[in-house]
Structures are given as C-alpha cells and as structure tokens.
Amino acid sequence: MATPSTPPYGAPAPRAPRVSATELATMSAQGRRIAMLTAYDASFAGVAERAGVDVLLVGDSLGMVVQGHATTLPVTLEQMLYHTRCVVAGCSRPMVIADLPFGTFQGRADDAYAAGVAALQAGAQMVKVEGGAWMAPTVEYLVRRGVPVCGHVGLTPQSVHALGGFRVQGKTDAAAQALLADAGALAAAGCALLVVECVPRALGARLTAEAGIPVIGIGAGPDCSGQVLVVYDALGIQPGRPARFVRNFLTGHDAIEAALAAYVAAVRDGSFPGPEHCF
C-alpha cells in the first residue's frame, strides 16, 4: 500500500515547484541576481533549466530569430501559445513568462485579459506587456483577475516604428524621468517584474533602486536585479553584427549547456554585463 509520501502505482513522481514571483522578489531583496533567457522550444528549455536559469521568457523575439522577420510585429497570439506550450513541456523548474504579442493588449482591457488567460492556460506563469504608464490600468485589470504581469520599458520592440528604430532610450534628463515615472506606475499597478531594455547604465541602476520590484536588464547595466538575453545571442547566433549588450558565451566552451551555465554564473557574480556591454 502506498504511504502518503509515496506516489500511488503508476503516478508520476512529484515535481519541484516552479520558480515563483515571490521567490524572485526574495532573490532580489537578498541581492541574488536573477538569470533569465529566452526560449522557444522544449529542447532549449531543457538545456537552459539544466544550466540553472531561473526564468525562461517565451519572447515575441521569435518573430525575428526563428521566423526571420525584421521586427516582432508579425507574431500572432496563436504562435506565442504554441511556443509557450513547447517551452513548458521541456522544463519543470524555471518560471515561464509569455510575451503578449503586438495588438493583443494595447486596446481594450478585456481583450488583454483574454490573451493573458490563453497564455496561462498554455502553461505560462506570467505574461509580459510592453509600454509605460499608459499601460498601468490594463496591468491592474489583469492582476486583479489573476494574471501576473511583467512590464517592459525602455526600448520596446513592438514600438520600433514609433521610436524611430532600435535606439537607446532615456538618454536625456526628461526621458530618464519619464521612464522612472513609467516604472513607478507599472509597479504601483501590480507588475511583479520589470524588464528594462537599452538604457544608460546609471538609469538602469536608478530604476532598480526605485522600482520596488525586481528589474531585469537587457542593455541596462550590471546593477539590475538580473539579466536577460535572447538565447541565440548568448550563443553567438545572429545574422549580422551583435548588439553592444550581447556576449557570446559559447566562446571557450564546447557545448551549449556549458555556455548557458557560464552565462548564469556571469550573471550571478556580476561579471556580465561588463563595461563594454553598457551604454
């Protein structure tokens, strides 16, 4: 007869719980840096898990690195849900965050909620939305209804045409103050996490100090609560010149898992990003 601590015959062994928003907040409060990578399929999700990654972002960056588009804008919700299910199937420990793609959340809040529910039903633990303070009412609407949200400010790729290209944000005092206000509004609305992309190092540090929630940087300097890279960038797989904030962790390693473990270690000890990766 099975004991309470033993799974009944034929039942799968219990899995360790996935990394939670509470765990990420504790890591940030204790000064333990969070390692995040993008993932789009089960195989890379499994390798990243074994390498010690805390969070996997199913990014709409798949539109560029997987589908070959010039921007993330053509990605559909159905495609995001498919890749989310693939990533969830390939790992058991990392938190999985799904991007809500362009056009699914910028309008009516109930449309954003429907997209968020679909992402969670596909297995994600959180959704990511791009935008500043104007997104705060939608964030609050989602969070109140049980959809955890990660915000994204700075360079927001879904707004690439409005921003005039992939440019560093927050370079002037006025622009920096606007980003600080955006971060504060999103945190107050209930965001559990905030991605900050392509801002000067000093602004990344200030956003992290003032946001009150964990801040994950990409091109935002080493003073953030953690870092994220597109997994292909971290492995030196890009069609042209890599962005300034990118480092090829496959250099000096003979296996992808070893390279991703080196990325995790460099994030943890603060050696990545280095001065050469900052704006």
| H helix intervals, the chain | 21-29, 42-50, 62-65, 77-90, 109-121, 136-144, 160-163, 173-189, 201-211, 231-234, 256-269
Please enumerate in sequence order all residues whose Cβ is within 8 A of that of 126, keeping only pairs 6 or more positions apart, or say none: 21, 95, 96, 97, 98, 148, 149, 150, 192, 193
Q: Is 104 in contact with 62 (CB distance < 8 Å)? A: no
The pairing of strands 226-229 and 149-154 is unpaired
Please enumerate in sequence order all residues whose Cβ is within 8 A of that of 180, keeping only pairs 6 or more positions apart, or say none: 203, 206, 207, 210
Is residue 257 among the annotated active site residues? no
Cα(128)–Cα(139) distance, integer angstroms = 10
* Active-site entry in 23, 140, 197, 210: 197
Quick one: how far is CA 154 from the chain centroid?
14
Q: Is 135 in contact with 49 (CB distance < 8 Å)? A: no
Catalytic positions: 197
